[in-house]
Each structure stands twice: as C-alpha cells, then as structure tokens.
C-alpha cells in the first residue's frame, strides 16, 4: 500500500496521493528523458517475472501441502499457516497484471473504479495479512518450543483455522483507509489513474504512513523478534531425552523454516518502510528517490515469490 506514488503515478499498488492541485507525486507529468524505458519496460519486466514465478511457486506449495494432507484440510498447525501465506501471496500476484498494465500505460488506469479499489485493497491486504500470519506463526513456534506440553490443547488445527479467520478479518479492518480512499484520480487530458486519494494530504499522509509502518511492520517485528529470541534460547540451552529427539528435530526444522520466512519478509520490506518514513520529510521527490522507491517496492513484492524457494531449500 504505497503512500507515495512512483514516477508518473505508476506505483506498483497504483496508489497516488493528491489533493487535486499540489500533487505530492509526479502523476500526470510528461516522462523525463531516461525514465521512459525504466517505467515502461524495466519495471513491468521485473513485476512480470515476480508475478510468473510467484504464481507457479505458490500454486506448487498449495498443491504439495494439500497432497501431503491427502486431499483433506491441513492436518497440522504449521501447514495451515504456510498454505494461508501462499494463498495471500497468490491472491496478490493475480492482481499484478493490472499493475503491470498501468506501468506500461504511464499510470493510466482503464479498469474502472471498482477494480481500482479491489486491486489496491489486495495489495494492502497482502502486506497486513502476511505480517499478521507471520506473527501468529512465531507465537505458535514459541509455544511449540518453549511450552510444548502445556500448549498442546491450544495448538490444534481447528484453533489455528479460527486464528487465521480472525487475522483475515483483522486485515480487512486494518485496510479501512484503502476501502475509503482508493479511487480514480483525474489526469490532464481526460485520462485517469488509480490510487489512494486522501482528503487532507498534508496531514493525512503523515499519519497514514505511521499507521501503516507500526501496524504492518514495526509492532509485528517486535513480537516476532521476541518470540524467536526466546525460541533460540530454549533450543540452545535444553537437551531432549532420547525418546523425544525425533519430535525435537521436527520442531527445530519447522522453526528454522519459520525463522527463514520471517527474515526474508523483513529483509524484503525494510527498505520500503525506511523510504516511506524518509519521504515524509521530502516536499518533492527527486528522480533518484523515485528510482530507489520503486526498487524497494520491487524487493518487497519479490517476497511473494520467494517463500516457495525457502520451503524447497529448507
């Protein structure tokens, strides 16, 4: 959910912030020399590659997990979290062709206001839901490792499914600003773009950026870090009895995968959020900043196609 649109209003979630007069983006501006190939060729190519690899990879993960569960709903808690992460990524990736089309058309949107709201919401929802699920996964790993016996009654597939449903609902509530303000934005010449148009950009941009940063990144990062620190302390300080070593090895393997997924997520999204906070002090972004911003967005979106490779490697 990009608050500061990229050059020519081609932010990958197609979000622009405009008060209709003094636009904080470069929406509707003529292409600068040297930027046309970047905007119309390089960025769509990057997003297209992410989209293709991500759809294939996440579809494979979903198929593999379902097959492992013998065509029944996931039979263990980690699988429920993993398959939902893949579903979140897959839903977002299915909307990427619309973003690619907008990039190739210099920010012009051709799919109407309803699709504008849905695609922008899918983008925002993927960030919030993924972060919430990763947080729940970290807490689950903490319970499985630090409190393996007492947490048994809580760590059941039915409970995990309920938690997932609540997290999806929480995510939809969290992106309320997107539902309210994602709309078509008029360009000079009669064309329109698609983005988030806040009522009072001068103040709303500041609070919306902080809202997104703390809720979708900072607070989950603190919880996840605390959980895995406790997990690593427990794993390095305790020795399992011989009868429990196979269970302990499986727990370590699943925990290692969960840690890797979280690390990949935060490494991919950290540059984006750093630039999001940085742009609050920039009255008008330079072309260099726009390039860096789009590179950070590309890295963040690449996260949607990296998780399947993490599963394969680990």
Q: What is the domain partition of the chain in residue ranges?
A: 7-313
Q: Which band of pLDDT confidence, cut at 50, 70 and 90, is reported for residue 233? A: confident
pLDDT mean over 27-51: 70
Q: Give 135's pLDDT tier (boundaries 50, 70, 90).
A: very high
pLDDT in the model for residue 74: 62
pLDDT at residue 41 tops 90: no
- Tell me the CA distances in angstroms from 189 to 20, 25, 108, 182, 197, one per residue in order: 14, 17, 11, 21, 19
The set of residues, in sequence order, having a beta carbon less than 8 Å from that of 122 and lying 6+ positions away, is 91, 92, 95
Q: Give the residue carrying structure tokens 């600003």.
A: 177
Q: What are phi and psi of 192, to 5 degrees?
A: -130, 150
Task: Please check the confidence at residue 21 and state whether its pLDDT lies above 50.
Answer: no
Read off the pLDDT of each residue in 135-151 and give the average, rounded to a whole number: 91
Q: 3-class SS at 192? A: strand
pLDDT of residue 50: 95
pLDDT at position 238 over 80:
no
Query: Is the whole-model pTM more than 0.75?
Result: yes
Token match 């903490």: residue? 142
Rg (CA), the chain: 21
103 confidence band (pLDDT: 50, 70, 90): confident
**CATH assignment, 7-313:** 1.20.1070.10
Span 246-275, mean pLDDT?
A: 86
**Among residues of the chain, what percentage have pLDDT more than 70?**
82
- Chain mean pLDDT for the chain: 83
Instruction: Please say whether the beta carbons of 144 and 152 come within 8 A.
Output: no
**pLDDT higher than 80, residue 69:** no
Give the per-residue pLDDT at 9: 39
pLDDT value of residue 24? 34
Q: Is the pLDDT of residue 34 over 60?
A: no
Determine the pLDDT at residue 17.
Answer: 38
**CA 232 to CA 179: how far, in whole Å?**
40
pLDDT score of 49 = 95
The answer to whether 299 and 271 are in contact (CB under 8 A) is yes
pLDDT at residue number 262? 92
Within a 13 Å sphere around the CA of 195, how many CA atoms are in the beta-carbon half?
Answer: 36
pLDDT higher than threshold 90 for residue 176: yes
Q: 34: Cβ–Cβ under 8 A, 6 or more apart, which residues?
A: none
Is the pLDDT reported for residue 165 higher than 90? yes
Residue with tokens 């769509």: 44
- Residue 7 is predicted with a pLDDT of 33
């Amino acid at each position: 959910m990009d608050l500061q649109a990229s050059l020519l209003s081609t932010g990958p979630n197609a979000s622009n912030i405009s008060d209709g007069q003094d636009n904080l983006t470069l929406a509707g501006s003529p292409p600068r020399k040297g930027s046309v190939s970047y905007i119309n060729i390089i960025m769509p190519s990057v997003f297209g590659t992410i989209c293709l690899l991500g759809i294939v990879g996440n579809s494979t993960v979903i198929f593999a997990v379902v097959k492992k569960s013998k065509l029944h709903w996931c039979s263990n808690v980690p699988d429920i979290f993993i398959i939902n992460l893949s579903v979140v990524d897959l839903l977002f990736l299915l909307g990427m062709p619309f973003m690619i089309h907008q990039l190739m058309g210099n920010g012009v949107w051709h799919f109407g206001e309803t699709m504008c709201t849905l695609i922008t919401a899918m983008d925002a929802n993927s960030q919030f839901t993924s972060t919430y699920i990763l947080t729940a996964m970290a807490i689950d790993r903490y319970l499985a490792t630090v409190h393996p016996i007492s947490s048994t009654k809580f760590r059941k597939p039915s409970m995990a499914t309920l938690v997932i449903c609540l997290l999806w609902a929480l995510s939809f509530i969290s992106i309320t600003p997107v539902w309210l303000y994602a709309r078509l934005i008029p360009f000079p010449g009669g064309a329109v773009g698609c983005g988030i148009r806040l009522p009072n950009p001068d103040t709303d941009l500041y609070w919306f950026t902080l809202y997104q940063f703390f809720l979708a990144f900072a607070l989950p990062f603190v919880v996840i870090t605390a959980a895995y620190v406790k997990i690593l302390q427990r794993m390095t300080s305790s020795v399992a009895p011989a009868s429990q070593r196979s269970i302990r090895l499986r727990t370590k393997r699943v925990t290692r995968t969960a840690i890797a997924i979280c690390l990949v997520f935060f490494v991919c999204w950290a540059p984006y959020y750093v630039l999001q906070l940085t742009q609050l002090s920039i009255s008008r972004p330079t072309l260099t900043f726009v390039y860096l911003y789009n590179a950070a967005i590309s890295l963040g979106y690449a996260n949607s196609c990296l998780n399947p490779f993490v599963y394969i490697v680990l």
